[in-house]
Chain A
Amino acid sequence: MTTRWTRKDLLGLRELSADEINLVLETADAFKEVGTRQIKKVPALRGKTLVNFFVEPSTRTRTSFELAALRLSADVINISATTSSLTKGETLKDTARNLEALLADILVLRHSSAGAPQFLASRLKASVINAGDGAHEHPTQALLDLYTIRERRGKIAGLHVAIIGDILFSRVARSNIFGLLKLGARVTLVGPSTLVPRQFEKLGVEVSHKIDDVLPKADVVNLLRIQHERQRREYFPGLGEYIRLFGLTKERAKLLKPDCLIMHPGPINRGVEIDSDVADGLQSVILDQVTNGLAVRMAVLYLCGGISSQ
């Protein structure tokens, strides 16, 4: 490994090189091993303070970051706030001041506004880790998806990955697209034209509105959650129609290659984007994604947190 990590922040996968992404994945290999030990805790970030600042609700990502930080022996503070009580610019500046006052070394930020992590990263000495900003990026989710594909298939280059569902509003899709393309995968986005517009082709991916054409060719299908809470009628005629046209039903899953991986960032809407039986089936790696998320987040905290204090 000749690449060195020089970033104090992880804001997105768009700005990372393929070598940097691979360095995170290799570092995560080492931290995954820690999870197999009798004592699953190492002193790498002892004495450092991590603040989980989640302006949007999240259980799984926040818990994953919290456990990752605890396993690295960092101290963790969780702060949450409701979006409604905040207005963007001023509040973020105040947030920054408060975090500096807490002497935090690492800030994990989830925010409804794209660019909020960038805004704080340029103003704080602390490391800023983007845990999802608006419909922009969710880099650690994409890194754990990449890690899971690489673990199961031994490589990423040359694989055909289908990302299915609500791409337009999805930061998970965006980060995955950047990461997968940098590592040499072929990416096809699938969904209704309202949620998967042709403009995405400019990123270097293929776009399809017919799931049955794509499924037989895919090595990985990544199903995104249909975000009821964000949907408005103009994008989305109804759940029944979505399931009929794009849901990964038991019948449709028969079109998949036998070794095709089924992924989902969670939380699953069973019976909507994916049938219950398919989510629990042999091809599903949905729970591996959760386990790997811990190792990947430990790697990111170690790399960024180890840099920031210099």
Chain B
Amino acid sequence: MKPRKQNSSAAVPVMDAETIRRALRRIAHEIIERNPQLEQVALAGIPARGVEIAQRVAGFIREVANVEVETGIIDVAMHRDDVGTRPELPVVRASNLPLPLEDRTVIIIDDVLYTGRTVRAAMDAINSFGRPARIQLAVLIDRGHRELPIRPDYVGKNLPTATREQIQVRLQQTDNEADAVWLERES
């Protein structure tokens, strides 16, 4: 992949379609290993890319273990702690989780883990649907800089970053671009 220019910042590729595929496949393997009762697992994607990643991970679990894990959508917008402090009001979407949650392991799935605030909001949102047996967290990229005591259970790639850098995940289904992860620096 060639570096690309976006506005005034330089973007360098850190993952391509194949490395993304391998990372998600490895996450699927780890989920299978850590959850002997695989049929109790539900993957809850955070819109929009988390939902797509959850679909792909579910596909790899089907390939490897021949088990159909349930997938759902967990929207965090109405559970954020910063409504009214950001320049743009987050768009709210309907959540949709397999119910009841009581005996399930819900795995939250997102593209990038950064401050941890989105994950906190997702846990809050999940609890309004019921009380899962446990909640785990899977992310494609962990870029560091946590502001809350939150730690992922499954990581596609650890990518130490500076706060002024940005991670851009692009997926065919959500962005109509080839699968890739870009690191953007202000130039």
Contacts and interface: CB of A to CB of B under 8 A. Distances in A.
Interface of A: 1, 4-5, 27, 29-34, 37-45, 48, 72, 302-303, 305-310
B2 to A, nearest CB: 29
A43 B94 contact: no
Contacts of A42: 78-79, 125, 128
A5 to B, nearest CB: 6
B146 interface: no
Which 7 A-B residue pairs are closest in the complex by CB-CB distance? A309-B84, A33-B94, A30-B92, A39-B128, A42-B78, A44-B78, A306-B89
Contact of B127 (A29, A39, A44, A302): A39
A291 to B, nearest CB: 15
Contacts of B125: 42
A271 B79 CA distance: 46
Contacts of B93: 29-30
B88 interface: yes
B129 A37 contact: yes
Contacts of A31: 78, 92
The residue among B81, B94, B96, B125 with the most chain A CB atoms within 10 A of its own CB is: B94
A39 to B, nearest CB: 4
B130 interface: yes
Contacts of A39: 127-129
5 contacts: A5-B89, A32-B94, A33-B94, A44-B78, A308-B84
A38 B88 contact: no
A307 B85 CA distance: 9
B84 A310 contact: yes
Given A37-B129, A38-B129, A306-B89, A43 B79 contact: yes
A303 B89 contact: yes
A interface secondary structure, majority: loop
B94 A29 contact: yes
Contacts of A38: 128-130
Nearest to A45: B83
B162 interface: no
B91 A1 contact: yes
B111 interface: no
Given A27-B91, A32-B94, A306-B83, 7 more contacts: A4-B89, A29-B93, A30-B94, A37-B129, A38-B130, A45-B83, A309-B84
Interface of B: 75, 77-81, 83-85, 87-89, 91-96, 124-125, 127-130
A31 B92 CA distance: 8
B78 A43 contact: yes
Nearest to B97: A37
B136 to A, nearest CB: 21
B84 A306 contact: yes
A32 B92 CA distance: 11
Contacts of B79: 42-44
A38 B129 CA distance: 5
A309 B75 CA distance: 22
A307 B94 CA distance: 21
A203 B85 CA distance: 40
A4 B88 contact: yes
Contacts of A37: 128-129
Nearest to A40: B128
Nearest to B89: A306
A134 B93 CA distance: 34
B92 A302 contact: yes
Contacts of A309: 84-85
A33 B129 contact: no
Contact of A41 (B80, B94, B128): B128
B152 to A, nearest CB: 24
Nearest to A27: B92
Contacts of B80: 44
The residue among B78, B95, B125 with the most chain A CB atoms within 10 A of its own CB is: B78
A296 B61 CA distance: 39
B87 to A, nearest CB: 7
Contacts of A29: 93-94
Nearest to A306: B89
A34 B94 CA distance: 8
A30 B78 CA distance: 9
Contacts of B95: 33
Nearest to A33: B94
The residue among A27, A40, A305, A308 with the most chain B CB atoms within 10 A of its own CB is: A27
A1 B91 CA distance: 8
